[in-house]
Structure 1
Amino acid sequence: MITFRKRVEIEADPAEVFRVISDPWRITEFWKGTRQVIEDGDFYRIRFAFPAWGLMSFHPDAERMTVLTSYLKGPVRGSKVDAVLVSSGKTVLQTEWNVRLSFYLRPFERRIASHFESGADHAINRIKESVEKDKK
C-alpha cells in the first residue's frame, strides 16, 4: 500500500486553484504519470506513463474544494484526494494518496512509492507555478 500526503502553499485565490484541479482535461498538464485521459461514460480511461491503461472516476466537490480521483481498474487501484485548504489566511494545495499496486508491481513497491511521492511534489508545484503565473 502506498500512502502519503504532500502540500504546497499557493499565492492565489482558493477558487482559482480549485478551478484548475477540478478540470479532468488538465490532468496530463500537471500529473506527468498520466499521459492520456479519455472520457468513457461516467468514467475516464487513462494511459499511464508506463505502458498500461486504467479506469478512474473523477469527482470534484466545489463546496468542500476537493477532488476525489478513484483508480478503479489497472495497475494502480485506490484513491487520490486533492484539496484546496485555507490555513492562517493562506491557500494550500494538498494531495493525499492511498493506492495499491497490482501484484506484478509489488516487488518494486518501495521504489515506485518514492517515484509517486516525487511526482506528486512536482505536480502540485507545477499547479502552483501555473496558477501564480496566471495571476500576474
Structure 2
Amino acid sequence: MAKIEVKVQIIAPVEKVWDIVSDIDNEPKFWKGTKKVRNISKNENTINREITIAFRDQKCLQEITIEPKKRIHAKFTKGIINGEKIVTLIPEEGKTILQTVWDIKLTGMMGMFTGMIKKHIKSGTEQAMQSIKEEIER
C-alpha cells in the first residue's frame, strides 16, 4: 500500500474550510486527479458515487462517509484503486490544519505501479490543498 500524508495550514476557522471541503460534488475543481463525479445514492452522511479519475479515465466506486466539520472518509470500493482517502480538519486557534491521508494501492496487474503513482498522487494532493487554501484565504 502507498501511504501519503499532506497537511496545509489555512488561516480561517473550521466552518469556513468545511464549507469548501464538504462540497464533494465540486471535487474536480480542486482535485485535478478527479475528472468527474456521479452520485449513485445518499443515506444521511453516507454517499455512494462513481468517480472518473485522470489515470486513463478509469471509473472507481467510492463510499463517502461525512463527519460534519471533522472529516470526509472516501473508501474505494471498486475499480483500479483499492484503499481510502481521508480528509481531516484540525482546529488550531482561528486557523485550520487541513490534512489528507491516502492509504491505497492499484488493483490487479496494475499493483506493480503503485510506487510509481505515489509521487504523482502526492503532488496532486499538494496542489489540490494549496488551491483550497488560496480559495479560502482570498
| Structure 1 position 117 matched with structure 2 position 117 | no
SS of 1:12's partner is coil
| Structure 1 position 59 matched with structure 2 position 65 | yes
Matched residues, percent identical?
30
Return the TM-score normalized by structure 1. Answer: 0.90
Post-superposition Cα deviations, 1:84-105, rounded to whole Å, max 9, x if no partner, equal 1023553110001111211222
Unaligned runs of 5+ residues in structure 2 are: 43-47
Amino acid at match of 2:88: A
Q: Structure 2: how far apart are the matches of 1:89 and 1:29? A: 26
Shift in Å at residue 26 of structure 1? 1.3
Q: Cα RMSD (Å) of the superposition?
A: 1.4
Equivalent pair of 2:82/2:104 in contact (CA under 8 Å): yes
Unaligned runs of 5+ residues in structure 1 are: none
Aligned match of 2:80: 75
| Structure 1 position 33 matched with structure 2 position 33 | yes
SS of 1:84's partner is strand
Q: Structure 2: how far apart are the matches of 1:90 and 1:101? A: 35
Equivalent pair of 1:24/1:58 in contact (CA under 8 Å): no
Q: Structure 1: how far apart are the matches of 2:92 and 2:23? A: 23
Count, aligned residues: 132
Q: Structure 2: how far apart are the matches of 1:70 and 1:37? A: 14
Shift in Å at residue 107 of structure 1? 2.3
Q: Structure 1: how far apart are the matches of 2:49 and 2:9? A: 29
SS of 2:32's partner is coil
SS of 2:38's partner is strand
Return the TM-score normalized by structure 2. Answer: 0.89
Post-superposition Cα deviations, 1:96-126, rounded to whole Å, max 9, x if no partner, equal 1111211222222221011111111111111
Moved over 6 A (4+): none
Aligned match of 1:127: 132
